């Protein structure tokens, strides 16, 4: 499997952009809506399939689109191609605050598994498909669902994580993680879901009923702020129906409402 060789630069700190440099005729594939800006000379087209050899032909494209539909993603992947002369740049940004992780797939065994909403973009030739977890219990209690995205290739791929990114290189160790905090891991890692301690800890510990257990030899990428956790906090403090809201700090929020005439 040969992917296009692309250069890149990551810009920013907490709300990052990856700027990909394309030589003439080179292509980068990306999730629909991820493009931020591009130079003149780059053309784009939404296609069913990732452009790899695995989805060549109409049946391959339909199968690839059907698999993406299972993950809740758009059935189309946008292909950005440098159709001009000289090097051109196109950039991609994630939809919420966090960091972009550059993955040299050749250094990760040419295969990596990631959460279904983590993939951002990759060099053409990268195969984007789905992978089911091995155990049914993982699917029911995994929090983020039992369908993971599988990236295959020997080029550059980019995934997005919320908050701070932590990389763990496991050498036969075991690590237990909140299910939403997993971004990606290599295939040498076994991923299962186990009960979070005693019944009292499960219901009153605030860490959820189940934790993900990662064991084996390989690399794991974790995130400190899953989007689901951030969304829960936003909804918790959002205005209620009828115009009522939850004030900051409760008492101070109430005083602010009185001063404001509410």
Q: Is residue 188 part of a domain?
A: yes
Residue 65 predicted with pLDDT over 80: no
Strand, helix or coil at 3?
coil
Q: Is residue 247 part of a domain?
A: no
| pLDDT on residue 144 | 47
The least confident of 2-6, 182-186, 217-221 is 2-6
Q: Is residue 249 part of a domain?
A: no
User: pTM for this structure?
Assistant: 0.78
Residue 237 predicted with pLDDT over 80: no
Q: What is the pLDDT of residues 25-62, one digit of tens each?
A: 999 999 988 999 999 999 999 987 787 765 555 655 56
Q: Give 145's pLDDT tier (boundaries 50, 70, 90).
A: very low
For residues 126 and 70, what is the distance between their CA atoms, to the nearest angstrom? Answer: 19
CB 190: neighbour CB atoms within 10 A?
16
Q: Give 220's pLDDT tier (boundaries 50, 70, 90).
A: very high
Q: Is residue 166 part of a domain?
A: yes
Q: Is residue 260 part of a domain?
A: no
Measure Cα distances from 71 to 58, 67, 128, 148, 180 in Å: 21, 7, 12, 8, 16
Q: Is residue 184 classed exposed, middle or buried when 0-12, 13-18 and 19+ CB atoms within 10 A define those classes?
A: buried
Q: Is residue 241 part of a domain?
A: no
Which CATH number covers residue 138? 3.60.160.10
Q: Quote the number of domains for the chain.
A: 1
CB 1: neighbour CB atoms within 10 A?
15
- Which residues sit opposite 30 in a β-bridge? 78, 121
Q: Is residue 239 part of a domain?
A: no
Q: Is residue 151 part of a domain?
A: yes
For residues 81 and 196, what is the distance between their CA atoms, to the nearest angstrom? Answer: 47
**What is the extent of the structural domain holding 144?**
7-234
């Amino acid at each position: 499997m040969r992917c296009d060789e692309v250069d890149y630069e990551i810009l920013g700190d907490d709300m990052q952009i990856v700027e990909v440099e394309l030589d003439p005729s080179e292509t980068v594939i990306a999730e629909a809506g991820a493009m931020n800006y591009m130079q003149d000379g780059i053309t784009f087209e939404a296609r069913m399939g990732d452009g790899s050899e695995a989805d060549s032909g109409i049946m391959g494209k339909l199968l690839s689109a059907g698999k993406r539909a299972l993950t809740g993603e758009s059935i189309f992947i946008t292909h950005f191609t440098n159709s001009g002369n000289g090097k051109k740049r196109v950039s991609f940004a994630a939809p919420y605050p966090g960091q972009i992780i550059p993955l040299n797939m050749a250094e990760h065994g040419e295969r990596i598994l990631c959460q279904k909403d983590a993939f951002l973009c990759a060099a053409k030739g990268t195969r984007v498909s789905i992978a089911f977890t091995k155990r049914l219990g993982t699917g029911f209690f995994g929090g983020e669902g039992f369908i993971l995205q599988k990236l295959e290739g020997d080029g550059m791929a980019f995934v997005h994580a919320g908050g701070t990114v932590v990389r763990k290189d496991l050498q036969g160790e075991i690590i237990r993680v909140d299910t939403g905090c997993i971004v990606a891991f290599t295939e040498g890692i076994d991923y299962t879901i186990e009960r979070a301690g005693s019944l009292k800890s499960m219901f009153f510990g605030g860490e959820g009923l189940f934790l993900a257990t990662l064991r084996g030899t390989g690399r794991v990428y974790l995130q400190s702020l899953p989007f689901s956790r951030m969304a829960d906090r936003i909804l918790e403090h959002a205005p209620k129906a009828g115009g009522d809201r939850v004030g900051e700090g409760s008492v101070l929020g109430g005083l602010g409402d009185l001063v404001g005439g509410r």
